[in-house]
Structure 1
Amino acid sequence: MNEPLLVLVCGVSGQEEERIGAAAPDAEIVFAARVADVADRLPEAHVVAGNLDADGLAAAARLRWVHSWAAGVDGALYPEMVASPVVLTSSKGNGAVPLAEHALMLMLMLDRDAPRWLRGQASRSWDRFRHGELAGATCSIVGMGGAGAALARRAAAFDMRVLGLRRRPDEPAPCVERMYGPGDVEAFVAEADFVVVTAALTAQSRGLLGRAAFRAMKPTAHYVCVSRGGIADDDALLTALREGWIAGAGLDAHTVEPLPPDSPFWSLPNVIVTPHNGATTAQTGRRGVDVFVANLARFVAGEPLRNVVDKRAGY
């Protein structure tokens, strides 16, 4: 580029600044807590890493690239961004490990009714009971991206049978016995002891699991969501939980966040709620910076960026 490169980096810790700067030593890199704090520099900026809203995008006349620290970019795909020629990249893959671990934790807690042990501890009650084990159970994973693939490996290590569902079912994945497509949802969930959602929220995945899907599940099966709410229809899920169509649910991602205090999910006895906390680890943040640092070096060198979002597809 003929003019000096201006990069606005928002929302990273101070210890990451040195390695971001090293990726583009000739650029001017401005660090801030929020994009709003550097709004006066947006008209000159070529790159923004952080949450850029529609007003910020309109102000950034020279902008060429926006990086999202999140893996899921549904919040960044407002109409103006979708229509813009600005390249959008994500931190896809940064939370795969903790999300897979969180899903496995919820599966174990549900299968063994861990809340019963916590209630026993609180009441000092020696309450022994027969519970399940994951070995031999079927884990049906919705979405075979980074988190889905990471969960498949871990579930297989627990001697579980693993099935997958993805938009292109002809693409196999390690540790997955069989892949299904979006048109085979009911057959896919009917096989499951656990249906686990690790997919991005897109126009195609929104409401993918409705009444027919929950009706098709075994009454002993559990539903787990660690990626995005809204992929399951909330009304259908509530009915399934209340009427015993399924045994229970572990919900880390919710259609409305924070989950409202009056949401019935909080008080259902067969539901474990966590506050979209599955990937809140230091390592997740560092892997997101790794993606940006590598892409910044590519941008400076004029090389293609990785983790480029297909704005129409939504991921």
Structure 2
Amino acid sequence: MPEHGPVLVSGRFEPEEEKRIRDAAGPARVEFTPRLSDRADLLGSATAIAGSPTAEELRRAGAARWVHSWAAGVNNELAAGLDSHPAELTSSVGNGAVPLAEHAMMLMLMLNRDAPRWAKAQSERRWERFQHGELAGLTCGIIGLGHSGLDLATKARAFHMRVVGLRRRADLPAPGVDTVHPPEQLHRFLAESDFVVVTAPDTPSTANLIDEAELRAMKETAHLIVVSRGGIVRDQALLRALTEGWIAGAGLDAHGEEPLPEDSPFWALPNTVVTPHNGATTAQTRRRGLDIFVENLERFAQGRPLRNVVDKSAGY
């Protein structure tokens, strides 16, 4: 352990999970707390913190050399001041890749086959058969080829879809992706996609990446799927696109404002499926997140490099 201060871990854990964490910390003292604010007395001496400290908590955490976020995205932590804090920041990125990719596939299938129409007919006990689509032969365009994006590519290929991707480093390997476009080819990428799926993190470079011009670049028959973070798509432009027919529909698990207000027009749009940022809420996501932290705690205790280190300037 680089320093001898305590390791402050926020959250609620089962006894066996607490034991795993204590064992990983070696000789260091581990203090568990439901919220970091409940142990403000330890913030000044804690060497490592697991959780999302507020700006005030970070100001107190002068001894912290490492902060671990239980979330995959670190927008809140960076906004609180970790972008300028000397502590190394790690995230749980990758913990929810599998269920997020599954959720994206579910939304694509629901929209492609108009599943809400079946649900409505079932609620009304009506036997209604109609012609619907199929995913085979369509193009799945993925914005962000990280853990969830690449997992989605594999799943989409299994549905006999063509897969194209968009990411900052178009030269890096992308298994399962037919073509990778750099950001400057965004409109070309959008124009060839039947489903545009947002799996990218919310960073300064992705904020409002999809605005009016981008939505108009999409096919009128295309659908937009957002499963990573809100704020990447400008809500007002998307609302116009959905109500005026620029695109065919949307599947939204991540939203610009969360929780989505009761009076939000997105709830009532007939061509939109709304879920409450729930795509990765699985027991396996929690387990993988704990695995990432435990491995990093062992590394920290032994003075070895950490994994999932966040590039604070890039935001992920």
With the length of structure 2 as denominator, give the TM-score of the two structures: 0.97
Q: Which residue of 2 aligns with 1:7?
A: 7
Q: Which residue of 1 aligns with 2:200?
A: 199
Q: Does 1:34 align with 2:35?
A: yes
Greater CA drift, 1-10 or 81-90 = 1-10
Per-residue deviation at 1:286?
1.1
User: Match of 2:291, SS?
Assistant: helix
Hey, what's the Cα distance between the residues in 2 that align with 1:221 and 1:97? 24
User: Match of 1:298, SS?
Assistant: helix
Q: What amino acid is the match of 1:211?
A: E
Asked if the contact 2:58–2:80 (Cα under 8 Å) also holds between the matched residues in 1, the reply is no
Hey, what's the Cα distance between the residues in 2 that align with 1:287 and 1:81? 24
Per-residue deviation at 1:156?
0.5
Q: Does 1:75 align with 2:76?
A: yes
Q: Which runs of 4+ in 1 moved over 2 A?
A: 1-5
Asked if the contact 2:53–2:80 (Cα under 8 Å) also holds between the matched residues in 1, the reply is no
Q: What amino acid is the match of 1:45?
A: A
Matches within 5 A, 1:288-303: 288-303=289-304
Per-residue deviation at 1:61?
2.0
User: Match of 2:189, SS?
Assistant: helix
Per-residue deviation at 1:79?
5.7
Q: Which residue of 2 aligns with 1:265?
A: 266
Q: Does 1:314 align with 2:315?
A: yes
Hey, what's the Cα distance between the residues in 2 that align with 1:4 and 1:132? 61
Note the residue ranges of structure 2 that are not aligned, 5 or more in a row: none
Asked if the contact 1:143–1:199 (Cα under 8 Å) also holds between the matched residues in 2, the reply is yes
Matches within 5 A, 1:82-231: 82-231=83-232
Q: What amino acid is the match of 1:147?
A: S
Greater CA drift, 246-255 or 22-31 = 22-31
Write out per-residue CA displacement over residues 256-279 of structure 1, whole angstroms, 9 at most, x where no aligned residue. Answer: 100111111111110000000000
Hey, what's the Cα distance between the residues in 2 that align with 1:219 and 1:125? 30
User: Aligned pair in 2 of structure 1 residues 267, 6: CA closer, same or farther (>3 Å)?
Assistant: same
Q: CA RMSD in A?
A: 1.1
Q: What amino acid is the match of 2:98?
A: V
With the length of structure 1 as denominator, give the TM-score of the two structures: 0.98
Hey, what's the Cα distance between the residues in 2 that align with 1:155 and 1:80? 38
Asked if the contact 1:172–1:179 (Cα under 8 Å) also holds between the matched residues in 2, the reply is no
User: Match of 2:83, SS?
Assistant: helix
Write out per-residue CA displacement over residues 6-40 of structure 1, whole angstroms, 9 at most, x where no aligned residue. Answer: 10111142241111111123110011111111111
Note the residue ranges of structure 1 that are not aligned, 5 or more in a row: none
Q: What amino acid is the match of 1:111?
A: N
Per-residue deviation at 1:57?
0.9
Q: What amino acid is the match of 1:201?
A: D
Write out per-residue CA displacement over residues 32-79 of structure 1, whole angstroms, 9 at most, x where no aligned residue. Answer: 111111111111100000111111111112111100000011111126
Per-residue deviation at 1:80?
2.4
User: Match of 1:195, SS?
Assistant: strand
Hey, what's the Cα distance between the residues in 2 that align with 1:294 and 1:203? 29
Asked if the contact 1:155–1:161 (Cα under 8 Å) also holds between the matched residues in 2, the reply is yes
Q: Which residue of 2 aligns with 1:16?
A: 17
Hey, what's the Cα distance between the residues in 1 that align with 2:2 and 2:176? 49
Write out per-residue CA displacement over residues 218-237 of structure 1, whole angstroms, 9 at most, x where no aligned residue. Answer: 11110000000111111111
